[in-house]
Every structure is written in structure tokens, then in C-alpha cells.
């Protein structure tokens, strides 16, 4: 597996290769037309926003091939499972659901099953699928997403299993058709892959080397979304702050963000994820300078202890992280801050864990995504000695969550009496749901017609997770 660390050439998929895929979509359409069938497809997504964005492209290709979308496995002519490998639990869920699909396939024998995404980049997963999951017809890793129409056509015509799982530094394919899930909020990838090799993390192995899209491609996609009426764009990358390092255009992420924010219109720009290693004052100043950029920063710290941070290969220490937070808040006093943290990294002692607790008290995050360390095959941390018991890790995890719940409640309570501007994005149990610029969930009574508009809401109540209010 380590071999992928030494392969570093991005494959740019040519316009010609993508045109061939369009022709394959046409051939799939004809395959079904000949039988007088309108085929239906189910795409099931696990994992992060990057996978959500990929699934929108898988649906785009399926739609171009004549498929209608359904939201159930039962009766679907093709099922695509877009998987996540970040923790062992994610893998187990997928294998559990895969097992159940033997039954849906028996009831609907023409059903074809594909597995793609990050698990398809794990050699031991591919082996297991080959040996024990014969009802899976096709597997492709993230580097081969663009050739899904060809794989599907081969499965339909030749009735043979297909595998597109070769490892590579990664590909960039512009112009894959996309069927977006929402009309209000859109994802736009600015880069793919990751070069950081944090010692616990599987992502660089399954998603390949860091590669940036050309600024003009990113800007054009954002402009298109804004012209179509999208109100929120989230720029995606595993480490957006290293955007542009592999291009010759001299742009960094702050330059890109600042340029996108010049596109006229009423919308908000968000981005994730920022790695503290490359975050800069320049970025915070750009965020502060435009009302179109949300004053929200997701800046994962993972651990509050310097020894653990070093063992994680994170390339910053506690002092540097806190300095970044100071600079960010200096530029944006109302900044909403969120973060990721791992509990129970191999060898983490009680004192080291307490450094994490004290860091979250010092910073006062609005919300935190908390994880218990999960060893990933092939990563350095999976081989480190890990004497801490599961019970101890669970107990630390609970202390961390309790501490953050208290902090989140306090921060939410401080909104009471204030008026916030929100984007109304849906309704639930008779109330409208919306998000503040900082991404906080606000529920309030109002007419469904308000969905898709910005409103001012006065906050009257709060919980750990959300705010409640009324229209002003
Ligand atoms: N690129 C992002 C993170 C992507 S993964 C970044 O670097 O910030 C999302 C989160 O999952 C990580 O921030 C980390 O907290 C968690 N994570 C990753 N690998 C993990 C593992 N092996 N065990 C537990 N949590 C993990
Ligand atoms: Fe994983 Fe680290 Fe890359 Fe994030 S920056 S995806 S945690 S290797
Ligand atoms: Fe999971 Fe892959 Fe995202 S491992 S978190 S889906 S990059």
C-alpha cells in the first residue's frame, strides 16, 4: 500500500476519453430502449461531502444513460454503493448492507451491484469482494469514477464482473455530467486527494495525491451555480489550504476564494476542510473582507498535546494552533469555530488527553466532531503500540463529549435575544429549518414559501444542538 506515496503524477482525463463515456451512456440507453424498459438506479452514499459530490456525478452519468433515480434498493436495476473507509465502523456497515443485497438481487435478478468510493481503494477489501461477495458485479476506486458508464455497459452486455481498482496518483476529469441533490446548496471540489499522510488516516491511500483543479474551472462551476439560483456553495477539498501548490498559476486558496466571492449575486461561500498546517492570516483577511464568505471555520486540531500531534504527523503544535485561532478571531470577532478531534490515539496518556480537554475549553468551539481512534490497515498508527483499554477510551470519549456539550449549550444560549440572518432550507415537524451564516441550525414558525430565501430571525430559545426563534 505504501507504494502510492511514491507515485505522484496526476492523470488528466482527456475530453476525448470523456466523449467516449458519453457514447457509452448512449449505448446503455439503447440497450434498455431495445427491451422497452425504463431502468431505475439507486445510489447509496457513505462518508464525507467529497463522496456526496462524487455521488452527484454518478447520478449524472446514470441519468445520461437513461436511468430514473429511486431511493430504495428494492427493484433497482443498478445499485451503486459509494463507500467510506475512514473508520472500521464505516467498512463494517457497508459489508453488513452488502450481505442483505443478496436478497434484493434474488427478487430482481437483473439487478447489478457496484461498489465504489474509498473502500474500493483498499486492497484487502477488493480481495474480500472478489472472494466472498459474488453478487457484486463491479468495483471501481475514486480514480476511475469517470469511466463508470464503460464499466456498466460491460456488466450489462458481457454478464461478467468488472474491476477498475488499479492504484494511481489520481485523476482529474472535468465535464462529467452532474445531477445535484439540492437546488439551494451546492458542492464544488477545488482539489482532490491529500499529501499529508497523518499517521492514522487512510485518505491519502484511497484518494491519491493532492491535485488542484484549474482556477478557471472552479470559478466557472461556481458562476454556473450562482446563475442557477444556488444560495450557498461549499468549496471542498481534504486540505483546501494547500490548493494551488501543484499548479503553476501562482494562486493559493485565499486568492481563489477572493476571486469567487467577486461573482455577483446573493449567496454564501463556505469551505472545508482547512488544515492548520497551511492556514494563514491571508486567508482570514480574505474571509473577513467579503460579506459573501461565511464567517465559519472548520479547523481540525485532532489533539491538544504536542507529543500526540507529532506522532499524528500533523506538522503544528498546540501553540501554533492557538495562535491561528487568535489571528482568525482577531480578523473575524464573530467567527463560528468547529473542529475534529481524535480520542485514544495509540499511547495517549491521561495527561495528554487532558491537554485535549483544556484546548477545547480554551478555544470554546461552537461544535466539535469527536472520534475514537480506529486503526486503518496500512497506516503507520495501526502498527503503534496501543495499551489503553477500550473502556478507558470510551470513558475519555464521554468526558470529551460532555465537556463539549456544555460549551455548545453555553455558546448557543448567548444567541438568545439576538437577531440572526438565516438561509431557510427546509421544514420539519411544522417548523422551518434554516442555517445561520456560521452554520448553526435555527428552527422557527413560518410559511413554506420562505424556503430558499434569507430571513432575519430573533432567537428566543436554545439547546446544545440548535436554536429556536421567530421571524423579525
Ligand atoms: N482532511 C480532513 C479530515 C478528513 S477525515 C482534515 O485533515 O481535517 C475527518 C476526520 O476523521 C478527521 O479530521 C479525523 O478527526 C477523523 N479520522 C480520520 N482518520 C481516523 C481514524 N483512523 N480514527 C478515528 N478518526 C479518524
Ligand atoms: Fe487525512 Fe490528514 Fe489528509 Fe486530513 S489532512 S485527509 S486527516 S491525511
Ligand atoms: Fe470517508 Fe473517503 Fe471521505 S474515507 S471521510 S469518504 S474521503
Query: If you ran DSSP here, which 8-state letter would residue 249 be given?
Result: S
Say how far apart CA 381 and CA 346 lie, in whole Å: 7
**Protein residue closest via CA to atom 1 of ligand 2:** 201
H/E stretch holding 370 reads strand 367-372
Position 10 scores a pLDDT of 84
Residue 100: HSE in the Cβ half-sphere, 13 Å Cα cutoff = 10
Ligand 3: centre distance to CA 71 (Å):
22
194 lines ligand 3 (CB under 6 A): no
pLDDT digits (tens, 9 = 90+) for 6-54: 456 788 999 999 999 999 999 999 999 999 999 999 999 999 999 999 9
**Which residues, in sequence order, are CB contacts of 167 under 8 Å at separation 6+?**
3, 4, 7, 121, 141, 143
Closest ligand to C-alpha of residue 238 is: 1
Provide the β-strand partners of residue 422: 436, 455
The closest-lying atom of ligand 3 relative to the alpha carbon of residue 85 is: 4
Nearest to 128 by CA among 98, 101, 169, 159: 98
84 lines ligand 3 (CB under 6 A): yes
151 lines ligand 1 (CB under 6 A): no
Q: Rounded mean pLDDT of 85-92?
A: 96
Yes or no: say if 49 and 273 are a contact pair by the CB < 8 Å rule: no
Query: If you ran DSSP here, which 8-state letter would residue 293 be given?
Result: B
239 lines ligand 1 (CB under 6 A): yes
Ligand 2: centre distance to CA 215 (Å):
23
Say how far apart CA 226 and CA 248 lie, in whole Å: 27
Say how far apart CA 399 and CA 211 lie, in whole Å: 38
Ligand 1: centre distance to CA 13 (Å):
29
All structural domains of the chain, each given as residue ranges with its CATH number in brackets, are: 3-171 (3.40.50.12160), 175-413 (3.80.30.20), 419-471 (2.40.50.140)
By most ligand atoms within 8 Å of CB, the mutation choice from 238, 245, 374 for ligand 2 is: 238
Which grid cell sits at 137? 458485479
Say what the pTM is. Answer: 0.95
**Protein residue closest via CA to atom 3 of ligand 3:** 48
292 lines ligand 2 (CB under 6 A): no
47 lines ligand 3 (CB under 6 A): yes
85 lines ligand 3 (CB under 6 A): yes
Which band of pLDDT confidence, cut at 50, 70 and 90, is reported for residue 249? confident
DSSP per-residue letters across 278-289 = T--HHHHHHHHH
Yes or no: say if 29 and 77 are a contact pair by the CB < 8 Å rule: no
Q: What angle do CA 432, 44, 428 make, to 5 degrees?
A: 10
Nearest to 55 by CA among 191, 179, 201, 240: 179
Position 4 scores a pLDDT of 39
pLDDT digits (tens, 9 = 90+) for 205-234: 999 999 999 999 999 999 999 999 999 999
pLDDT above 90 as % of the chain? 95
Position 6 scores a pLDDT of 42
Does residue 334 carry a pLDDT above 60?
yes
Ligand 3: centre distance to CA 202 (Å):
8
Yes or no: say if 320 and 280 are a contact pair by the CB < 8 Å rule: no
Amino acid at each position: 500500500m505504501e507504494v502510492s506515496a511514491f507515485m505522484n503524477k496526476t492523470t488528466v482525463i482527456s475530453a476525448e476519453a470523456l466523449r467516449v463515456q458519453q457514447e457509452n451512456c448512449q449505448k446503455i440507453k439503447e440497450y434498455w430502449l431495445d427491451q422497452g424498459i425504463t431502468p431505475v438506479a439507486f445510489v447509496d452514499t457513505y462518508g464525507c461531502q467529497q463522496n456526496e459530490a462524487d455521488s452527484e456525478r454518478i447520478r449524472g452519468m446514470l441519468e445520461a444513460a437513461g436511468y430514473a433515480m429511486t431511493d430504495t434498493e428494492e427493484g433497482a436495476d443498478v445499485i451503486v454503493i459509494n463507500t467510506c473507509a475512514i473508520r472500521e465502523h464505516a467498512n463494517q456497515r457497508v459489508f453488513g448492507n452488502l450481505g442483505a443485497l443478496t436478497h434484493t438481487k434474488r427478487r430482481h435478478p437483473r439487478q447489478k451491484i457496484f461498489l465504489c468510493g474509498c473502500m474500493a481503494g483498499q486492497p484487502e477489501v477488493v480481495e474480500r469482494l472478489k472472494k466472498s461477495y459474488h453478487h457484486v458485479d463491479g468495483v471501481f476506486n475514486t480514480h476511475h469514477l469517470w469511466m463508470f458508464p464503460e464499466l456498466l455497459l460491460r456488466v450489462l452486455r458481457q454478464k461478467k464482473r468488472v474491476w477498475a481498482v488499479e492504484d494511481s496518483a489520481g485523476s482529474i476529469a472535468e465535464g462529467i455530467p452532474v445531477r445535484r441533490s439540492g437546488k439551494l446548496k451546492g458542492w464544488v471540489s477545488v482539489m482532490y486527494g491529500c499529501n499529508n499522510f497523518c499517521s492514522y488516516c487512510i485518505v491519502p491511500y484511497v484518494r491519491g495525491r493532492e491535485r488542484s483543479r484549474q482556477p478557471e474551472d472552479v470559478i466557472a462551476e461556481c458562476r454556473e451555480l450562482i446563475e442557477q439560483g444556488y444560495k450557498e456553495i461549499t468549496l471542498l477539498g481534504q486540505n483546501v489550504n494547500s490548493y494551488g501548490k501543484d499548479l503553476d498559476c501562482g494562486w493559493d486558496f485565499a486568492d481563489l476564494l477572493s476571486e469567487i466571492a467577486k461573482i455577483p449575486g446573493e449567496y454564501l461561500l463556505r469551505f472545508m476542510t482547512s488544515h492548520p498546517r497551511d492556514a494563514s492570516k491571508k486567508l482570514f483577511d480574505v474571509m473577513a473582507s467579503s460579506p459573501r464568505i461565511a464567517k465559519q471555520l472548520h479547523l481540525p486540531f485532532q489533539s491538544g498535546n504536542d507529543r500526540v500531534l507529532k506522532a499524528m504527523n500533523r506538522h503544528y503544535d498546540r501553540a501554533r494552533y492557538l495562535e491561528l485561532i487568535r489571528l482568525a478571531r482577531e480578523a473575524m470577532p464573530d467567527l463560528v469555530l468547529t473542529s475534529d478531534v481524535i480520542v485514544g490515539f495509540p499511547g495517549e496518556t491521561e495527561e495528554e488527553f487532558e491537554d485535549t480537554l483544556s484546548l477545547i475549553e480554551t478555544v470554546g468551539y461552537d461544535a466539535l466532531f469527536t472520534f475514537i481512534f480506529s486503526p486503518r490497515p496500512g497506516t503507520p498508527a495501526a502498527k503503534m503500540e496501543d495499551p489503553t483499554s477500550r473502556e478507558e477510551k470510551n470513558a475519555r470519549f464521554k468526558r470529551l463529549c460532555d465537556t463539549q456539550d456544555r460549551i455548545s449549550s453555553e455558546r448557543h444560549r448567548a444567541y438568545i435575544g439576538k437577531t440572526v440572518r438565516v438561509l431557510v432550507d427546509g421544514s420539519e415537524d411544522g417548523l422551518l429549518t434554516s442555517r445561520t451564516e456560521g452554520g448553526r441550525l435555527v428552527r422557527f414558525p413560518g410559511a413554506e414559501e420562505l424556503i430558499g430565501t434569507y430571513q432575519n430571525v430573533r432567537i428566543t430559545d436554545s439547546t446544545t444542538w440548535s436554536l429556536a426563534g421567530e421571524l423579525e
